[in-house]
């Protein structure tokens, strides 16, 4: 998908460009992380494996994942450049208390995924294989990280954005 596709979709649906881009990034970034992880693991295994057939298969797989990763990273970079390079008019720069309050009301389960009806999930902020994160009111708490997040801080940590950008993205 291209940057233009995302912008066009945002216009058609009537949401802000920034919101559409943040959503698209939220979709792309876990896939990028997963592919980078697979490349790291396969490369490590390649360094330890002496079986010629397995080595050939691993090399082929690494090449394949790299070719899948490339367009995802390219799109993600373009999206980030687009939102970071875009200077908004001064009037749009201020965040009001109402906007912060509105962002806090954003359902946190749209940022941290929970299986429907479940109150616990694996924490996305540390390597978690046993569900350590629980949902209460519109907050999440991880017993391993020993930390709570509201929708704004969850957005900041999952998208690596500033407080201001998180509030704007949650409007």
The whole-angstrom separation of Cα 138 and Cα 110 is 11
- 65 lies in the binding site for Zn ion (CB under 5 A): no
- 144 lies in the binding site for Zn ion (CB under 5 A): yes
> Do residues 121 and 114 make contact, with C-beta atoms less than 8 angstroms apart?
yes
Q: Which is nearer to Zn ion, 28 or 145 (CB)?
A: 145
- 25 lies in the binding site for Zn ion (CB under 5 A): no
User: How far apart are CB 164 and Zn ion at their closest, in Å?
Assistant: 25
The whole-angstrom separation of Cα 71 and Cα 90 is 34
Secondary structure letter of residue 88 according to DSSP: P
Three-state SS at 138: coil
Site string for Zn ion, 99-138 (x = CB under 5 A): ------------------------x-xx------------
Q: Which is nearer to Zn ion, 123 or 169 (CB)?
A: 123
* Sole binder of Zn ion in the list 108, 112, 140, 142 (CB under 5 A): 142
Exposure string for 152-171, b = 16+ CB within 10 A, e = fewer: bbbbbbbbebeeebbbbbbe
Secondary structure letter of residue 139 according to DSSP: E
- 79 lies in the binding site for Zn ion (CB under 5 A): no
Using CB under 5 A as the binding rule, the residues of this chain from 145 to 164 that contact Zn ion are: 145
Q: Considering only 39-47, 70-78, 100-108, 139-147, which stretch makes contact with Zn ion by CB under 5 A?
A: 139-147
Strand partners, 139: 136
Q: Which residues bind Zn ion (CB under 5 A)?
A: 123, 125-126, 142, 144-145
């Amino acid at each position: 998908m291209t940057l233009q596709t995302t912008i066009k979709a945002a216009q058609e649906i009537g949401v802000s460009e920034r919101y559409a881009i943040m959503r698209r990034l939220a979709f792309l970034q876990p896939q990028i992380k997963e592919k980078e992880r697979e490349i790291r693991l396969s490369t490590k295994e390649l360094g330890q494996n002496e079986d010629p057939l397995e080595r050939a298969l691993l090399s082929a797989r690494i090449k394949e994942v790299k070719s899948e990763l490339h367009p995802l990273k390219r799109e993600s970079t373009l999206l980030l450049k687009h939102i970071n390079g875009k200077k908004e008019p001064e009037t749009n720069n201020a965040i009001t208390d109402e906007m912060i309050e509105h962002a806090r009301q954003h359902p946190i389960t749209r940022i941290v995924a929970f299986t429907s009806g479940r109150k616990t999930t694996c924490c996305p902020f540390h390597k978690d294989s046993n569900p350590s994160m629980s949902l209460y009111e519109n907050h999440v708490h991880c017993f391993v990280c020993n930390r709570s997040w509201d929708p704004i801080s969850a957005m900041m940590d999952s998208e690596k954005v500033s407080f201001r950008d998180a509030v704007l993205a949650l409007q």
